[in-house]
Amino acid sequence: MMDDAAKTRKAWDAAAEEYRAIVERQLSSSDKDVWMRMVYDNAPKKDRLRVLDIGTGPGFFTIALSLDGHQATGVDLSEGMLEVARRNAEEFGAECDFRQMNADRLYFESDTFDLVLSRNVTWTVPDMEECYREWRRVLAPGGRILVFDSNFNWNFFDRDHDRMFRELVRNMRISGQDSGTVNSGFMFRSTYMETRPMLGVKRPQWDRSVLIKLRFLDIMAEEEVLVGGPLDRMPDPEAPAPLFLISARKPSPEEERRFLADEYWDGVAPFDSGTCHRICADGRGMGFFESLREWVPAGAKFLDIACGAGFLAIAASLSGHGSAGVDRSSFMVEEAKRCAEEAGSAAEFLNEDACDLPFEDGSFDVAVMRNCLWSFFDPEKALSEACRILSPGGRLIIVDADWMDSLDSSRPRKNNDGVRNRGGESGFGGTDVIDPVFRRLPLTGASRPAWDVHELGALGMEVTDSMPFQDMLVESGIRGIVGDSFIVVARKRRTARIRSAVLDCRYE
């Protein structure tokens, strides 16, 4: 019995000569410019791209990109297609590298290509998700995938599309046009088409979901590209299957870590919002603010940095302070605004990065960083920014704990068994995906609060207090694992020089 790869080779070997003629015409016409414009609009901006053309067929993209000076490699499972691709390349004077290879088993090193692209190939693949994984592997960080394809045979799955299809066929026959493509498979079932798993899957919606799961960034899924133009129905104008385009970028390792951290805090937002609502209603939020009262002068302008759902800025506002909160997570900011409205607070909340605060020097009298500094990718820059926006004599209050150091199951700790499960039950839930990211953060394993004291001194701040602190809002189950928090309070000297302009912000 013929396996799928053999079945695919047989089907496309038989069609190779017909498709060679189609590609030859496209390479010789304005169609080539249309396709290249779409490619370059979505490709990384480099003078010489390393390109992998998957399912190259008669070699259109490989040849066109090689003629433009790029390093292009074309792969195809069909030896018949590769043979005509080599003939096309010779005819157009292009030096191309063609190899026989399956789309989901690529014999290339990881991080090799700037662009992986395909045209009218993915509908034929038995396991397209595995292909996307493999394509991601061979992409270099910052590289992009670019997929052109159609929902072929959609007339079998959508009644409206079927009506359009039948009307097209009828009008073709009335006008005397040949309908060979329709008769050869786009109107009637074929055994090969029946075995293609992607047929009947609504795309590109499916692709977008898979690319999100695989941690691609800048995902774009565009339906009905060039509708009404010469290339909107592929592979033949007789087949009414609008072209769609999918583009996505592979992040760098650092970008991926930041992306996962952002995703984590976005996910925490509704939990924090519910907690914020409760502690604002039962007075615990105000109680925490009162525990800081000795460092918050009457009438002081107050900023809560990485505010989460905003209870502290809300409490400061209700205590008569001009109050604001900033958070990198737009979801957190949405929840903070909702909680403020529910509490009747005038606190303002902004979706901003702690490493790039949108305030002028000396804008606030008090800034608080509660249980957030540990989570920053660049804690030095976050501290520098916090100090910069303080007025002379203003205070920075840091409340934190050795969160990941204590919750890291790889380190021998007292009461460490089941630590992540207990943490999750008490509100500090980690996952096997995000934990490795957090364990690589700069402050994981740092000696704190000694680190905070040293860094604040280097920033020209006067540390006035550094001591254990019982954060009454940390659930008892968590406190039993990580121990008490600590508090560090520093005052901005009137002659302090804050290192804001010279440090790069890695927490973007």
Lowest mean pLDDT among 102-111, 199-208, 431-440, 486-495: 431-440
pLDDT at 472: 86
pLDDT at 236: 46
Lowest mean pLDDT among 245-254, 262-271, 293-302, 404-413: 404-413
For the residues 87-105, what does the mean pLDDT come to? Answer: 94
pLDDT exceeds cutoff 60 at 425 = no
Torsion, CA 284, CA 287, CA 291, CA 296, rounded to 10: 120
Q: What's the CA angle centered on 16, arms 109 and 232, to 5 degrees?
A: 85
Q: How confident is the model at residue 482 (pLDDT cuts 50, 70, 90)?
A: low
Higher-confidence residue: 425 or 486? 486
pLDDT exceeds cutoff 60 at 238 = no
Residue 69, number of CB atoms within 10 A of its CB = 10
Tens digit of pLDDT for each residue in 100-123? 999 999 999 999 999 999 998 999
pLDDT exceeds cutoff 50 at 417 = no
Number of H helices, E strands in the chain: 19, 14
pLDDT at 434: 84
For the residues 47-56, what does the mean pLDDT come to? Answer: 97
pLDDT at 237: 44
CB 146 within 8 A of CB 247: yes
Q: What's the CA angle centered on 379, arms 376 and 383, to 5 degrees?
A: 125
Whole-number Å distance between alpha carbons of 311 and 304: 9
DSSP string, 375-395: G-S-HHHHHHHHHHTEEEEEE
pLDDT exceeds cutoff 80 at 141 = yes
pLDDT at 416: 45
pLDDT at 174: 82
Whole-number Å distance between alpha carbons of 337 and 348: 7
pLDDT at 26: 87
Tens digit of pLDDT for each residue in 257-316? 999 999 999 999 999 999 999 999 999 999 999 999 999 999 999 999 999 999 999 999
pLDDT exceeds cutoff 90 at 96 = yes
pLDDT > 70: what percent of the chain? 84
Q: Which domains does the chain have, with CATH numbers?
A: 4-152+199-251 (3.40.50.150), 268-400+449-474+486-492 (3.40.50.150)
Q: How confident is the model at residue 443 (pLDDT cuts 50, 70, 90)?
A: very high
Among 226-230, 264-268, 402-406, the range of highest mean pLDDT: 264-268
- Quick one: how far is CA 423 from the chain centroid? 27
